[in-house]
A and B are shown apart, each in its own frame.
Chain A
Amino acid sequence: MEGKTYQSVGQPVRKKDAMALLLGKPAYVDDVTPRDCLVVKVLRSPHAHALIEEIDTTAAMKVPGVAAIFTYRDVPQKRFTMAGQTYPEPSPYDRLILDQRVRFVGDAAAIVAGETEQAVDRALKLIRVRYQVLEAVLDPHEALDSPILVHPEDSWRSLCPVGADNRRNLCASETCSDGDVDQVLAGCPCVVDRVYHTKACNQAMMETFRTYTEMDPYGRLHVVSSTQIVFHVRRILANALDIPKSKIHVEKPRIGGGFGAKQTVVAEVYPALVTWKTGRPAKMIYSREESQIAASPRHEMEVHVRLGATQDGVIRALDVYTLSNTGAYGEHGPTTVGLSGHKSIPLYTGNLEAFRFAYDVVYTNRQSAGAYRGYGATQGIFAVESAVNELADRLGMDPVALREKNMVREGQIMPAYYNEPASACALDKCMERCKELFGWEEKFPVRDMGNGKVRAAGVAMAMQGSGISGVDVGSATIKLSDEGFYNLSIGAADMGTGCDTILAQIAAECLECSVDNIAVFGADSDASPYDSGSYASSTTYVTGKAVEQACAQLKEQICAVAAQMLDCPAGELEFAGDRVRRLDGGGEVALAEIAAKSMCGNPIAVQATSSHTSPVSPPPFMVGMAQVEVDKETGSVEVLDYAAVVDCGTPINPNLARVQTEGGIVQGIGMALFEDVTYNEKGRLLENSFLQYKIPTRLDMGHLKVEFAPSYEPSGPFGAKSIGEIVINTPSPAIAQAVFRATGVWHRELPITPEKVLMGMKDRG
């Protein structure tokens, strides 16, 4: 319960794989799979929109060492989605492994497999493709009802009622509301009416997409992939290859970062097709360029906010319209957009009388978007939090005071959040503590440092969810093994988050043992219990609860075995960590003895599996404050200090919660200031490498201060909510406000580059 102290939960336990990773032990796909397999690469379209009229592979096939080349003629003709989501997927079935129509610069036109990389590279150059180049729709504003259709095909299919229509370039659309927003806005003396633009930032995890495939001795396709979603990969590959699900076995080793990128089946289909067709082991390693131009970045969104308030700062109405650009394919298009409203508007539940949230998600001939930490909430929060900051400026109010007046409080029902209650909400405490931690009173006033430099500060709040309510399934299997250690099997994916360790901490707490006594295994579609996978900030909250439940069941089983040994009813026994004892003090038996007994002449399983799903998705909350120094003569913005206080419920592992928070903030700083996405008129993405796409280095982030303001979420394991995603949401609006304070110019498009800052000041005069 709340306030209780724990043995393992709440402790900064070292991650189980920490030293192996730090010392460079082989752990990732390319380290643990054979080198002598076919190298797979993809020939990519140079055109944003074209039909392949002719594709000649004759010369390429003659290159020594080339094993196979596949074109659109060689692949199954059933459409599927690469989005790793629970069936029936909200993302439309709009893909083929290879299509005659290519829909963005970088779209796959052919697959080449060969004995060496050199042979494959040579063959790629020798494939002759004649394209019928078509006009492309690159601007999301022009996409809806454009005469140019990205998906004119009859075989396009939407499985869920998400408001999609491929004949209109529409991947999804919806409107929802509570109260009469137009009427309330009409009655507001102060209305902020602005449009905010977030670009298609890239996750840029250090390990690019990569997959190894082989046929196992049972004639099944064995897939080793860097993925967050082993079970969805199984379904998606079976759909793509049009083979039974039973023919596929997917496992993941260590993952070199995901951030949502690996919630989409970006690379897996290519080697899978090669292995399925040739019977030979194959591997695909995405280059950094491919990861930049042909992967699954954030959805570009333009968010139009109308915010109505009284003169004394009571926020009465929020009207949000989002135009989301899903690019050439619809992966996560219908779902990311929802968060742009449903995870921004509820922050102001306090006095809100009415809201409306509407959106359109459009196809364009750009790189297909996907899932990236924050998943639409980031884009929506940049918009709504910026609008609130603009309101504060207009009213001459301290933006902290304005928020304190309007923020959601514990116990309130949030109409814009599917009428879920804020059952655990310490947002007010986050604000209070962050103010102190940051030194808001001293830092908010603008300070002239001389030589053109000015210091200023900004603030933002954020929320996210904890899993997808009523959809996500988390499962855990725990079994008692020799000498009384435990095996914990999970289908969730540790992508560096430390969930293997976090879930072991939960198990150790339940089983009253050391974390070292829990061996964790996962994830493997054959061996792990079913789990939707690690995304939507679900693992600690959903899978963690499954672990808790499985442990409770296992304890009963252990007591049942002990009951036989102690010759009494199980009800008279008590589980006590390293032993089971009679409540009346009349004897006990050591766990190690029970383990031994369980393996000899024992008919009682000491292995429990539990699945969990939650009808609610309790939001974590957060406050972030940024201090920047702006060079008014060059436009440079330097982040000096960033303070954040997070309410993630109970932090199961404070160290890991802290590094998640720090990491998310730094990614958010990158998004706010550096990470740009530029397409030329031909539809080519220019930031196609780390030379051009600048993610923050350790010199670009300033000093971070992170603390927690825990609440206790009754539906979570030991009171926990989530933390993985929310942490990226505050930097953009907080920094945009700080830059405004320093320069007098609001920047409503990210990133806020030095040039935009300087030119913005010059334009303003």
Chain B
Amino acid sequence: MEIKLTLNGRAVTASVQADTLLLDFLRSQGCLSVKRGCETANCGLCTVLLDEKPVLSCSVLAARADGHAVHTLEGLQEEAADFAAFIAGQGAEQCGFCNPGFVMNTVALLRENPDPTDDEIRAYLAGNLCRCSGYEGQLRGIRAYLEHKRQG
């Protein structure tokens, strides 16, 4: 079947199968930041924005994205680089494999709540697993970014 969607601001028309998952579709479109870490919707590595909301692309049919807007990290490089630099400042990227999903969800968090508390950050990002367990460093990084923003 044919789908039409906006991918990172660009109109895309593509042919997919009924059971093609958005995750696989996006990778086939060259959005290689989107990762798969499990088969049970538990890890958050595949997080993308669907109509501005963070979702697990492993659990969305590509067909369901027909007529909608999808953003991956490829399309949000500058917005992400703003705060990602502070995470790099902590060394908290570690192996990096969970980073795109975690960064995408942080984009969503900061759009929804530009000045979150530590507990709000932890709660919002709870669905992003990191086995290097860089959680504390990631938090320090986001905190440093917020502090930096506050001080202009």
Contacts and interface: CB of A to CB of B under 8 A. Distances in A.
B39 to A, nearest CB: 5
A697 B126 contact: yes
A205 to B, nearest CB: 5
A574 B77 CA distance: 46
A255 interface: yes
Nearest to A289: B39
B40 A690 contact: yes
Nearest to B34: A24
Contacts of A255: 95
Contacts of A600: none
A173 to B, nearest CB: 33
Contacts of A289: 39
A27 B39 CA distance: 22
A259 interface: yes
B40 A23 contact: no
Nearest to A705: B136
Contacts of A26: 32-33
B99 interface: yes
Contact of B88 (A19, A28, A206, A666): A19
B92 interface: yes
Most buried by A among B33, B99, B100, B127: B99
Interface stretch (A294-302, A615-623, A651-659): A651-659
A411 B93 CA distance: 38
B133 A662 contact: yes
A698 B130 CA distance: 9
A654 to B, nearest CB: 9
A323 B95 CA distance: 33
A256 B32 contact: no
A577 to B, nearest CB: 26
Interface string B25-53: 00010001111011110110100000000
A24 B131 contact: no
Given A288-B37, A666-B135, A698-B135, A22 B129 contact: no
Interface string A7-42: 000001011011111111111101100010000000
Contact of A27 (B38, B88, B96): B96
Contacts of B98: 206
B122 A206 contact: no
Contacts, number: 172
A714 interface: no
A21 B85 CA distance: 11
B123 interface: yes
A498 B91 contact: yes
B139 A698 contact: yes
Contacts of A21: 93, 95-96, 99
A695 B131 contact: yes
Contact of B94 (A12, A24, A288, A659): A659
Given A19-B84, A254-B96, A659-B137, A12 B37 contact: no
A452 interface: no
A691 B127 CA distance: 12
B91 A655 contact: yes
Interface residues of A, number: 58
B125 interface: yes
Contact of B123 (A35, A207, A695, A699): A699
B22 interface: no
Contacts of B40: 288, 689-691
B80 to A, nearest CB: 6
Nearest to B33: A24
B91 A205 contact: no
Contacts of A667: 131, 133
A203 interface: yes
A35 B26 CA distance: 13
A195 B125 CA distance: 39
A658 B87 contact: no
Contacts of A256: 35, 95-97
B132 interface: yes
Given A695-B131, A701-B133, A655 B90 contact: yes
Nearest to A694: B42
Contacts of A421: none
26 contacts: A15-B93, A21-B93, A22-B103, A24-B100, A205-B95, A206-B35, A206-B98, A207-B35, A207-B95, A207-B97, A256-B96, A257-B94, A257-B97, A257-B131, A288-B39, A496-B95, A496-B96, A496-B97, A497-B94, A659-B91, A659-B132, A662-B137, A665-B133, A667-B131, A690-B40, A691-B40
Of all A-B residue pairs in the complex, the 10 with the closest CB atoms, nearest first, are: A496-B95, A24-B33, A21-B96, A256-B97, A666-B133, A24-B100, A18-B88, A690-B42, A655-B91, A698-B135
Interface of A: 12, 14-15, 17-28, 30-31, 35, 203-208, 254-259, 287-289, 495-498, 653, 655-656, 658-659, 662-667, 689-691, 695-699, 701, 704
